[in-house]
Structure 1
Amino acid sequence: MTASTAVRVSVTLLGSFSLRLDGRPVRKWRAGKARSLFQYLLVHRDRVVLRDKLHEVLWPHSDWSPNSSSLKVAMHALRQILQTSPDGTNTSGVRIVHQDFGYALYADGISVDVDEFEAMVEAGRAADKVGDTPRAVAAYRAAMEVYQGDFLPGDSADWIVEQREWCKSLALRALDRLSTEAARVGDFDQLVRWCRRTIELDPYRESAYQMVMSAHGRFGELAAVRRWHDMCTRRLAEELGVRPNQETERAYFAAMRGEGRAAAPLRAVPGPRVVRPHRALAIRDAS
């Protein structure tokens, strides 16, 4: 990477929030809406966001007035944090410009984990379309390395929830593809790994339970099969008030009967344990 394209601004939004300017972490955010303002402008960077829209995002239950000073105060605090002046000059690589009744954020040499994640998922899709399975799998694996948790976990603003669910849907599609490919090639260690990550993200996704039960059943690990089935049944009943579908029940009974069991011992498949977040991965209850 040349000096002109070197990363000056690095932002993490998945699993936790962090901002680094020229390698230095920004740890002190002033009280108020400066951080939320930065996050929204960052996701919508390179385009003008009108003042009334920003007010709606930051103060959703308050009526907006052109004479309101709240946004000005938040913008002043943000510019101080980013070392950015009102005329757009700066020393941090980030510029916030006031134009056309709104604000636009621009950044030189910026790296945002959400962008990288979405690009890797799209690269996997593109490879799948041309039948390049190895390249697709590599892209999906890279995407899941970047995906370290929910988008801005803990925040409940509407725009954040929408982005969070979008990112989660992409992650689940990548995991579905990785699980399917692992099953196809008989890599049962990886199959269980991807299914467990799927269940961490979506504890009601029955297809993941079906695949992991089948994997354990192949090795005759009937106690593990039963534990995964019990976990699926309990979660669906207690949290959604439904029973497992017919496909899940068929997968369970087939695994318990030993259908598809390996003729000779192969690689051991790790048994189920209490499902915990993968690194910073946050498990959200279904709304």
Structure 2
Amino acid sequence: MRYELLGPLRVCATDGRVLTLSAPKAEVTLALLLLSEGRVVTKEQLTTELWGERPPRSASAAIHVYISQLRKFLADAGAGDPGCPAITTTASGYRFQRGGASYDAEEFTAAVRAGRARQAAGRPAAALESFELALALYRGSVLDGHGDGPVVSSFAAWAEEERLTCLELAIEARTTLGQHREVIGLLGGLTAEYPLRESFYRQLMLVLYRAERRAEALEVYSSARRVLRSELGLEPHRSLRRLHQAILSADRLLDHQPLAS
């Protein structure tokens, strides 16, 4: 079976069914147990994750209900067995064991790690394959944005940052392969969606320059400078400023270097 947390929570049962939970707090409970696999999650931790600093008086009873629901849900999915259930009760809380089930966040991390290694070894096509495999695992915001407790929200922030980093790496691999025009539209959308992320401006400027659209590359710099000064009161990072100067002087170092055959 399989657990998927890079998006709305899903559990792929041993018989191939894709199962979801209808109750958001039961989802958050399972997410916290999954993120804390092998460690005891105390009732206090669950309470904070589910309700923050103002839990209802019925919090303890509600947690018992969610755990009971999850045990039935996971048993239906084929998790654990009568002698070794997925969720066990301890003196202070609950412990979750994934057993041999796969987990999309682990697969994402492994794919990015493989991509980095392939990129460092001078194999951009293979690196791109790994990065795209990782990106395909990301289905949207964690729990559809329903989990705002400290553990789930931290994981959601990590997942989003890793996705953006993976996008940067995938675009870098494409530019190494000479696929400049293919990523212009993507980068245009990314700079609009993440206007304070300078790395996307840098990548867009470079591919526009290599696509013989130097004036547009310079306009991207001007736009980035306006946004950064307006929003943060800062000038662009020196790497962006150096690229701007290199484009103005048509520095040959910016030209694409074909891979050796």
Using the alignment, how far apart are the partners of 1:163 and 1:71 within structure 2? Answer: 21
1:1-287 aligned within 5 A: 8=1, 10-21=2-13, 22-27=15-20, 29-30=22-23, 33-62=25-54, 68-83=60-75, 89=81, 95-127=86-118, 131=121, 133-134=123-124, 135-155=126-146, 156-189=148-181, 192=184, 195=187, 199=191, 202-222=194-214, 224-225=216-217, 228-229=220-221, 231-252=223-244, 254-255=246-247, 258-260=250-252
Q: Deviations over 1:233-271 (max 9, x none)?
A: 4543454343434543453464466555999xxxxxxxx
Q: Is the 8 A contact 2:115 2:131 kept in 1?
A: yes
Gaps of 5+ in 1: 1-7, 264-287
Whichever residue aligns with residue 111 of structure 2, its letter is: M
Secondary structure of 2:3 counterpart = strand
* Between 190-199 and 93-102, the greater mean CA deviation after superposition: 190-199
In the aligned structure 1, how far is the partner of 2:213 from the partner of 2:149?
44
Q: Which 10-residue stretch deviates more, 193-202 or 244-253?
A: 193-202
Whether the 8 Å contact between 2:218 and 2:247 is mirrored in structure 1 is no
Change (3 A) 1:245 1:46: closer
* Whole-angstrom distance in 1 between the partners of 2:156 and 2:188: 20
Q: Label 1:153 to 1:28 Cα distance change in 2 as closer, same or farther (>3 A).
A: closer
User: What's the offset of the Cα at 1:83?
Assistant: 4.1
- Matched residue, 2:258: none
What do residues 31-59 of structure 1 show as CA deviations (whole Å, max 9, x unaligned)? x6212111111222233222222222222
CA contact (8 A) 2:206 2:254 kept: no
Residue 119 (structure 1) shift: 1.5
Single out whichever of 154-163 and 136-145 deviates more from structure 2.
136-145
TM-score by length of 1: 0.67
Q: Which has the higher helix share?
A: 2
Checking the alignment, whether the CA contact within 8 Å between 1:15 and 1:150 is kept in structure 2 is yes
Cα contact 1:140–1:178 (8 A) shared by 2: yes
Residue 259 of structure 2 corresponds to none
Contact kept, 8 Å, 1:94 with 1:107, in 2: the verdict is no
Provide Cα deviations, 1:189-214, integer angstroms capped at 9, x if missing partner.
45547745864774322132122112
CA distance in 2, matches of 1:26, 1:184: 41
CA distance in 2, matches of 1:24, 1:214: 45
Mapped to 1, the partners of 2:118 and 2:212 lie a distance apart of 36
Comparing 10-19 with 157-166, greater Cα deviation is found at: 10-19
Structure 2, unaligned runs of 5 or more: 256-261
In 2 relative to 1, CA 167–193 (structure 1 residues): closer, same or farther, beyond 3 Å? Answer: farther
Instruction: State the 1:64 CA deviation.
Output: 9.7
1:11/1:240 Cα in 2 relative to 1: closer, same or farther (>3 Å)?
Answer: farther
| TM-score, length of structure 2 as denominator length | 0.73
Q: Secondary structure at the match of 2:86?
A: strand
Q: What RMSD in Å do the two structures reach over aligned CA positions?
A: 3.9
Count the aligned residue pairs.
249
Question: Within 1, Cα distance between the matches of 2:46 and 2:135?
Answer: 31
Q: Distance in 1 between matches of 2:60 and 2:252?
A: 68
